[in-house]
Amino acid sequence: MLPLHLGSPMFIKSFVKTEFGFRPVSVEVALVPGVSQIQILGLADQLIKESSRRIISALRHQGFRVPPGKQVLVNLHPSDLRKSGQGLDLAIALGILLESEQIELQNFKTQEDYCYGSLSLKGEVIAPSDLQLLNYENFSRKVMSGQSDKSWRFTVEEVTELRSLNERSVKEPCPESFSCQETTFNEDISFEQPMARLLAMVALGEHPLLIAGYAGCGKTTLVENLATVLNPPAPKAFLEAKKCWMLSGRDLQTRPVVQPHHSATPAAMIGGGRPLKFGEISLAHGGALILDELLEFNPLVQSALREPMEKGVIYLSRTGARQMFPADTLVLATTNLCPCGHFQPGATYKCQCSSLRLRQYIEKLTGPFLDRFAIFHLYEKPKLDFKMTLKEIKDWVQSGKEFQKQIRGQEKVNQKLCVSELLDELDESITDTLIPYSKSHRRRQSLLRVARTLADLETSETIKQAHLEEAQRWTASDIYKLERFRMEDFAMR
């Protein structure tokens, strides 16, 4: 008996959808003797499997056919990945047409260019809505798809129906439509010192902030306004943020600011579930996460946020596989220090809470979590009658950013600088012994980072002694005050 000659299989490049965007796949099409039908192999979901009947109908309406006496085998690589997606129809149909020599394709390299489109029963090619996800991947090849009024960051060759696969119209990339627009802010609201200084410092350096104070002192207004005067995020971070928003069904035009309610569960904050889904911290990626009334959140939220606050990413596991989600955000938190909201260490007490309730409340703020905040500030009534409008603060922050870029040649924010980089920037007159003592490495890092921001706000190329002393007040003094209070004052109330 003569061996069967099956020919070399055809490969077309396409995409499938995963928990976090698109992944390239190879669609292998082979014709083997058998009943005329399409068999899809390689862990495809129901959505993809249904496409075989649609493709047969589309081919017929367009004057093509599945070759009689041949079975079409479609194998999706890599074979171990579960696959879903709306756009494999076009790749499979193209593979059949090329393999059975029913068409010749011009100016399209099947080894390099991609195909992503769904088909109507009559063979019209449609651009699937999830193709937009590809805008947020690092992708620069050509894609063949249906017509759409959307903007793309890559070249799309639009095709209307299967019989006109060689009459494609080229749509050039339009990267500018994906840039971050400016956030609107309340120009006229003003802040007294030292709050205005705190606002400028956090906005420029992007240092995580926890501000504690009695109810009605204005801490929520402060952080909400702070989030509106941040400098634009890096383009890469903004694209990742747009992708997260798109995956949750929303569009993002400005730097994201996310303010979850304190009833949010740890899973809602960092992500989880089945299918795996990211949380609020990923929606805040590249922007700010406001945690108003931090101690009212589930205590597990604090431990859940520690890793992403440190690393800027979050790893979630599902059936043995680990998926990384972006989670690089500026955390701005506020809290009362007692359940009634009136307690303030060292101030005249209007607080009605019992010592036990007060202790239980404050002890909800764990040391390791507090350590993640570069700045911890106990609100005090301002003593100076000097105010700055938010417009003035924003201008100050922008000129600080210009100084960082133009004079110091630094692109990243100060919160991302490491200790060795910062030590190099100390004024010559400062020796190690002049750097205030810190209990933890993180506190020392925060001290130097905040001092660098204070120097930038004053357009000073080096970090001076005065910057270190002020940074010590913002990064450590109030933590010591709180710790002292925890040890001594409870008994005295």
Contact set with Zn ion (CB under 5 A) = 338, 340, 343, 351, 353
The string of DSSP codes covering 285-327 is: TTSEEEETTGGGS-HHHHHHHHHHHHHSEEEEEETTEEEEEE-
Query: At closest approach, how far in Å is the CB of 217 from Zn ion?
Result: 14
- Which contiguous run of DSSP H or E holds residue 8? none
From the CB of 485, what's the least distance to Zn ion, in Å?
14
Q: How far is the CB of 290 from Zn ion (least distance, A)?
A: 23
Neighbours of 428 (CB within 10 A): 6
Nearer of residues 100 and 344 to Zn ion, judged by Cβ = 344
Sign for the pseudo-dihedral over CA of 116, 121, 122, 126:
negative
**Which CB atom, from 207 or from 342, has the smaller least distance to Zn ion?**
342
> Helix (H, G, I), strand (E, B), or coil: what is residue 125?
strand
Identify which of residues 44 and 351 has a Cβ nearer to Zn ion in the complex.
Answer: 351
- 137/296 with CB nearer Zn ion: 296
Which secondary structure element, helix H or strand E, spans residue 431, and what is its range?
Answer: none
DSSP state of 475: I
In whole angstroms, the minimum distance from the beta carbon of 348 to Zn ion comes to 13
Q: What element of type H or E holds 229?
A: none
- Tell me whether residue 135 or residue 335 sits nearer to Zn ion (CB atom): 335
State the nearest-atom distance from the C-beta of 378 to Zn ion, in Å: 15
Give 93 or 338: the residue with its C-beta nearer to Zn ion.
Answer: 338
Distances (CA, A) of 463 to 197, 402, 442, 484: 17, 17, 18, 29
Least distance between Zn ion and beta carbon 295 (Å): 12
Distance of closest approach, residue 346 Cβ to Zn ion, in angstroms: 15
Task: Count other Cβ atoms within 10 Å, centred on residue 449.
Answer: 26
Dig out the tokens for 1 from the structure.
Answer: 């008996």
Closest Cα partner for 455 from 199, 204, 231?
204
- Compute, in degrees rounded to 10, the torsion defined by CA atoms 379, 384, 387, 390: -20
- Decide whether 220 or 414 has the Cβ nearer to Zn ion: 220
By beta-carbon proximity to Zn ion, the closer residue of 326 and 341 is 341
Q: How far is the CB of 281 from Zn ion (least distance, A)?
A: 30
Q: Cβ 341 to Zn ion, closest distance in Å?
A: 6
What six digits make up the tokens of 138? Answer: 């690092």
Rama region for 272: left / alpha / beta (φ>0; ψ in -120 to 50; rest): left
* CB of 143 closer than 8 Å to CB of 154: yes
Task: Report angle CA 250, 251, 255 to the nearest 5 degrees.
Answer: 115
Residue (339 or 382) nearer to Zn ion, CB: 339
What is the nearest approach in angstroms of Zn ion to the Cβ of residue 480? 22
What is the smallest separation between the CB atom of 349 and Zn ion, expressed in angstroms? 8
Distance in angstroms (rounded) separating the CA atoms of residues 251 and 344? 41
Shortest CB 216 distance to Zn ion, Å: 13
- The rounded distance, in Å, linking the Cα atoms of 112 and 91 is 13
Number of residues that this document lists for the chain: 493
Q: Are 239 and 432 in contact (CB under 8 A)?
A: no
Q: Which of 58/338 has CB closer to Zn ion?
A: 338
Residue 250's contacts (CB-CB under 8 Å, 6 or more residues apart) are: none
* Cβ distance to Zn ion smaller for residue 212 or 338: 338
Contact 101, 65 (CB under 8 A): no
Q: Which residue has the tokens 């634009």?
A: 232
Q: How far apart are CA 64 and CA 119, in angstroms?
A: 14
Nearer to Zn ion, 341 or 400 (CB): 341
